[in-house]
Copies of this chain bind each other. A is one copy, B any other.
Amino acid sequence: MLGHGQAGNTKLVKQMNRHLLISRLREYKRVSRADLAKLTELSRPCVSSLVDEMIREGLINEVGVGESKGGRKPILLEYNFKAKGVIGAVFEGSTLHMSIADLSGELLFNYGTRLSQPTNGETAIRALEVGVDVLLKQSGFDKDHLLGIGIGLPGITQRTDGTISYAPSTGWMGLPVQQEMEARLRIPVFIENDVNLMTIGEFHQGIGFGVRNQVHMYVGTGIGAGIIVDGQFYRGFREAAGEIGYMMIGPVGRTRRGEYGVFERNYSVSGITEKARLILTGWNEDTSVIAELMRQSEGGNREAEQLLEDIYVHWAHGMVNMISVLDPELLIINGEMVNIGEQGIKKLNQLLAEWVPFVPPVKVAALGIKAGIIGAIQIVLEALT
C-alpha cells in the first residue's frame, strides 16, 4: 500500500509537517530548528516558518541557547507541555478518581470523591463536573486550555456513539455519557472501558513503555486481557478482544446455556476463592487469596501448595494460549497476579518455557491504581495531539 487512502492537498501537507515537528520535539525534548530540519528531513526555511507559527500559537517555546558546535549557537526549542491540560477520570466502585495532566501526560493534581448512593447516571455526571472545576482551579488552567477529558467506565462502552451498552454493576445502562459531558463542558470527551485503560496506561507510562506489541493479563473478579498491536490498543470486531475469561482452561463441567467463561470460573479470584475456602484455615477473605495460599503453603499446608501449583499451571495455560496466538514482545500481569512475587514469576517462566519455544519476558504491572487514570489521559492525547 503506497497510498494513504486519503486525498492530499497543501493543507494536509502542512498539518502533517506540523505534527511531525511536534512529535520529534516531544521525543527529543530540547532541540534547535536546525536539528529539527535534520530529524524530519524538511528544509530549514520550512521548519523555521512552521516553528514560528507554532510559537505564536503557544505550542512551542524558545528556551535559551545551546552549546555551539563550531558555529552560531542554536536556539533551543521545547514543546510547551503546559499549553493545555488533560483530565482523566476513572470510576472504581462507588469512588471517582480524577487527575489533571499536562500535554506530556504527567499528572499534576489529583482528586477523589465518593459517589452518593445509589449511584445513577446523573449523580455520576454531576460528580465529574465538580471534579473538573476543582482540578482546573488547583492547576490554574482555565477552561479554554483544557484539551479534553478521558473517562474510564466499567462494562462495555459503545465507542462509536459514546453510550454505555452494557454495565451490569452500575445503573448506567444506555447512558450517553460522552454526549452529555460534551454538551455540558463543551470540550472533547472520550470514554473507554476501565480495564482497557489500565493496559493503555501501563503501555504509555508503566512497565510496558515503548514496547509496541504487548499483552496484559488481568486476574480479578473476572479474567481479561488487553492487547497492544503495533502501538495500538486492539479491540476486535465486537470490542470483545481479550475476553480470555471464555478460554477453555480447567474443568469444563456442565455448561448451562448463557453461563460462559470456563477459565474465569476456574481461575479468577472468585473461582480460586471458592476452592481456597475449603483449604485455608483462618483466612480473612478481605486479603489476597494468593498471598494467603503462599503463606500457608510455605507453612506446610500441602493442599494449599497443590492448589497454588494448579493455579500457576492454569494461569500459564492461559498465557501460553495468548502467546501462541499473538506472539507478543512482552507479557504483563496485573490484578491478583501481582501477588505471586519473584518466585511465582520464576515458576510461571519455567512453565511457559516447557510449552512454547518463544517465551516473551513476563513483567508485573507497575502503575497500580494510577494506570487507569493515566490511560484515560493518554487516549485523549493520542486522539488530539
Contact = CB atoms under 8 A, between A and B. Distances in A.
A322 interface: yes
Q: How large is the interface on A (under 10, 10 to 19, 20 to 34, 35 or more residues)?
A: 35 or more
Contact of A327 (B237, B255, B258, B356): B237
Copies of this chain, complex-wide, total 2
A279 B323 CA distance: 34
Nearest to A41: B7
A225 B7 contact: no
Given A7-B17, A325-B244, A257 B317 contact: no
Nearest to A262: B355
Contacts of A248: 249, 317, 320-321, 355
B326 A236 contact: yes
A241 interface: yes
Contacts of A257: 354
A138 interface: no
B327 A239 contact: yes
A130 B327 CA distance: 38
Interface in A111-134: none
Interface string A188-221: 0000000000000000000000000100000000
14 contacts: A6-B20, A7-B41, A8-B14, A8-B16, A213-B237, A236-B327, A237-B327, A237-B328, A245-B324, A246-B320, A255-B355, A260-B355, A262-B355, A321-B321
